[in-house]
Structure 1
Amino acid sequence: MKMSYKIPLAFTVLSLALVGCSSKAVKVEQIKPNPLPKISASQSIAPIASYSVAATHKVDPLRLQLGVDQGRVFAADPKGEVTAYQGKQRLWQTQVSKAGISAGAVAGEGIVVVANKKGQLFALDQATGSKKWHSQLTGAVLAPSLIQAGRVITLANDGTVFAHDIATGQQVWTYNLPKIDFSMRGTAAPVAVDPRTVLVAWANSYVYVIDTVTGIPHLQRRVSINDGRSDIQRLNDIDGEPVVAGRYLISTSYQGQLTALDLASQQVIWSEDASSLRSPVIFDNKVFVTQSTGKISAHDITTGQQLWQNEQLLHRKLSNPAILGNQLVVGDLDGVLHLIDPNTGHLVGRAKTAGEVRSLRSIDQQLYVSSQKGTYSIWQNR
């Protein structure tokens, strides 16, 4: 049987450091994160709610997030519980799986969806927390599903895309992505292109556009290249969700490029070298990306021209960037939320949460933060 290997980022860095070494003990120099730079803070954000769950392992890229719908917030606990809140009031709590939860929560069309490493997909009723249905998939689920057009779209770690009927849980269609022998441990979540089309990015540097209702593919296109010599040097995964803005599809890849694809012509219109496992963000005709080294850069969305680059936060394990109001926000390994002027790249403020920031989401002028220590928090501008 052919095996597929998924490796964490920490192992990749260590392996690269040891290439060509003899059997003697070798001291690997650890790169220290940049200290926090001094800034004259003029911008600030304030937490309006916080919820605590169990911590996740430091090297496991679990994609847990708060699900948000109709003014309610749904928190997934790695130990297997889902809890619903209205503000700070707890509405219900349901034990979903003794095997834990590794992806979710996603809320929409009356349900909440979570999944785990055993490939079990669960849908709960938003109002009561009761289990509506569950389904056994063919691989672990490490990224949130997408709820769209009466379907729940989920990407399993073995490369199978599943669509389930939102009401019954019946499997409607599957789409098989190419098998990958060696890749980073993590996957990008499915992304909506329009009300009836879903985009899936995969570890082979391709993106796939699929009809949500029928499962018929409309597009497959490579958006990144890598000509490394070894298996590790050739890793070119797309683990951060691509972003769709009008005609543009913007994607990042590990040891690859920041790329803009024209969805109408299906042609790459520009590409800039950048290594990132994080999703980019688009604001005011600019594309913002956090690279694996800690560099943050802004690019013109039509030409790819770099507008600015900030290297003050090198090696601080930055999260994906997000937009809150008129500010760019990134999180780091110490739980610091950095506020950045999107026009200049200057640091203009900071705030603090608990634990390494794993993901940021901006919804209705509020910032949703999840951390490795199990802290979910919601922030807004002061």
Structure 2
Amino acid sequence: MRIKSNATLNSAVLATSKILGAGLLLAITGCSSLNPFASKPSTRNQPAALTEVKPTATVRTVWSERVGKAGQYSFAPAVVGNDVFAAAADGTITRINAATGRSIWSINAGTKLTAGVGSDGDTIVVAGEKGTVLAFDGNGKQLWKAQASSEVLSTPAIGQNVVVVRSLDNRVVALDAATGARKWFLQRTAPALTLRTSPGITIVNSTAFVGLAGGRLLAVMLNNGAPRWEVAVGDPRGTTELERIADISGSPVVAGRDVCAVAYQGRVACFDAASGTPRWAKALSSDVGVAVDERFVYAADERGGLSAFARDGGTSIWRNTQLANRRLSTPVSSNRLVAIGDYQGYIHFFSKEDGLLAARISTDGSPILAAPVSAGANFIFQTQSGTLVAIAAE
């Protein structure tokens, strides 16, 4: 994870013991983008060694497909119906059958990419260099190209024939899904320092739930961009700009009447999706998103602890610290297990009920940064080296 300054500063890289302890690097405007996984972990926070697992679940690789390297960015797969869509930094976009792993088509967007993939099955949207937004139809034919106000790292979201894009300057823009014409935009002030990550956007019915730098969660009407409500998940605190970083991490998750999110140096919290009224909040700092199912909310903190909270009330159910400092991905929940990736490409499976490690499987050895997804009974993970893998767990 990287941090970007919005102030005009000389090219430099800042580091503090607190930030390095969380496995972060700071990138200042004017610097080339940095990959924290390219450097060795701090000797003060060595990743926990993996211990032998006594499996209580059976996991296996159903299929594996190469889709292109992510480079310094994070590309999350999108599952729509029976298909998985994936993108890579070199411009590759691939459509794959979710059950078999068979490639349906693969194209090149004609430019290097920084974010993706957003899809509703009919339209596929990615972000290219310098804020270019590109849309393709279900067969991979380009539909339109639009321009955002700055670089886009957050995956574009599609719903109700609207594409919603958030750029690094904290501007949210809605584009017509058919033409790319701008429908509306809104601007929020960007803090002096922000995490160079990708706060996500989730569209449900007529509302877009947008994670913002500064720890704010915003609900807006899709038809006109009118804010429905705005709440703080992480309130900036401290005497320095570094201490005051409190950005939304990952995508907000809507489940029933709840919308849940987490912030770096903030909280994990759930709110009423219609009104923004807080349901509960717990102190927790995370640089990845949450997972939510019928009973629990799962969050991985910046130090590698995985926690489960009761969705109704936020009671702490369990916390597992066996993966300390292993730079965990967003968790994903399915059936009786919750799965999470780490910086060496391992996928770990935990019991939902008690948080005990139930199984482990390896991928290609590269970090898993992108949020995993579920496709039927399978977990879908995308690695930084470009492996898209479907895992079945029983």
Secondary structure in 2 matching 1:106:
strand
Given candidates 132, 146, 150, the residue that maps to 1:135 is 146
Judge conservation of contact 2:341–2:348 (CA < 8 Å) in 1: yes
Provide Cα deviations, 1:310-332, integer angstroms capped at 9, x if missing partner.
11110010111101222110111
Judge conservation of contact 1:5–1:183 (CA < 8 Å) in 2: no
Question: Which deviates more, 130-139 or 62-71?
Answer: 62-71
Q: Output the CA distance in 1 between the equivalents of 2:207 and 2:48.
A: 42
Q: Does 1:320 align with 2:330?
A: yes
Given candidates 145, 158, 166, the residue that maps to 2:177 is 166
Given candidates 332, 344, 357, the residue that maps to 2:342 is 332
Q: Does 1:363 align with 2:363?
A: no
1:264–1:164 CA distance, 2 compared to 1 (3 A): closer
Q: Structure 2, unaligned stretches of length 5 or more?
A: 22-41
> What residue in structure 1 maps to residue 66 of structure 2?
52
Letter in structure 2 aligned against 1:4: N
Q: Does 1:84 align with 2:95?
A: yes
Q: Output the CA distance in 2 between the equivalents of 1:165 and 1:310.
A: 44
Secondary structure in 2 matching 1:102:
strand
Q: Output the CA distance in 2 between the equivalents of 1:232 and 1:310.
A: 28
> What residue in structure 2 maps to residue 4 of structure 1?
6
Given candidates 58, 66, 80, the residue that maps to 1:69 is 80
> What residue in structure 2 maps to residue 114 of structure 1?
126
Q: Output the CA distance in 1 between the equivalents of 2:199 and 2:105.
A: 29
Scaled by the length of structure 2, the TM-score of the pair is 0.86
Secondary structure in 1 matching 2:110:
coil
Cα displacement (A) at 1:16: 4.5
Q: Output the CA distance in 2 between the equivalents of 1:344 and 1:70.
A: 32
Cα displacement (A) at 1:110: 1.1
Secondary structure in 2 matching 1:118:
helix
Given candidates 180, 186, 190, the residue that maps to 2:191 is 180
1:6–1:122 CA distance, 2 compared to 1 (3 A): farther
Q: Output the CA distance in 2 between the equivalents of 1:32 and 1:375.
A: 26
Cα displacement (A) at 1:101: 0.9
Letter in structure 2 aligned against 1:103: A
> What residue in structure 1 maps to residue 159 of structure 2?
148
Judge conservation of contact 1:162–1:171 (CA < 8 Å) in 2: yes
Cα displacement (A) at 1:14: 5.2
Judge conservation of contact 1:6–1:182 (CA < 8 Å) in 2: no
1:31–1:366 CA distance, 2 compared to 1 (3 A): same
Cα displacement (A) at 1:12: 5.2
Cα displacement (A) at 1:265: 4.9
1:106–1:6 CA distance, 2 compared to 1 (3 A): farther
Letter in structure 2 aligned against 1:246: G
Q: Output the CA distance in 1 between the equivalents of 2:209 and 2:298.
A: 20
> What residue in structure 1 maps to residue 223 of structure 2?
213
Sequence identity (%): 24
Judge conservation of contact 1:103–1:116 (CA < 8 Å) in 2: yes
1:17–1:293 CA distance, 2 compared to 1 (3 A): closer
Cα displacement (A) at 1:15: 6.9
Q: Does 1:297 align with 2:310?
A: no
Secondary structure in 2 matching 1:232:
coil
Q: Does 1:352 align with 2:367?
A: no
Q: Output the CA distance in 2 between the equivalents of 1:308 and 1:172.
A: 45
Q: Output the CA distance in 2 between the equivalents of 1:201 and 1:218.
A: 14
> What residue in structure 1 maps to residue 48 of structure 2?
34
Cα displacement (A) at 1:301: 1.8
Secondary structure in 2 matching 1:240:
strand
1:185–1:5 CA distance, 2 compared to 1 (3 A): farther
Provide Cα deviations, 1:346-382, integer angstroms capped at 9, x if missing partner.
0011111111111211232221101112211122235
> What residue in structure 1 maps to residue 26 of structure 2?
none
Secondary structure in 1 matching 2:129:
coil
Judge conservation of contact 2:79–2:373 (CA < 8 Å) in 1: no
Q: Output the CA distance in 2 between the equivalents of 1:371 and 1:114.
A: 18
Superposition RMSD on alpha carbons, in Å?
A: 2.3
Aligned residue-pair number = 363
Provide Cα deviations, 1:258-279, integer angstroms capped at 9, x if missing partner.
1222345533232211110111
Judge conservation of contact 1:67–1:112 (CA < 8 Å) in 2: no
Given candidates 57, 62, 85, the residue that maps to 1:43 is 57
1:220–1:311 CA distance, 2 compared to 1 (3 A): same
Letter in structure 2 aligned against 1:344: D
Cα displacement (A) at 1:55: 2.9
1:351–1:213 CA distance, 2 compared to 1 (3 A): same
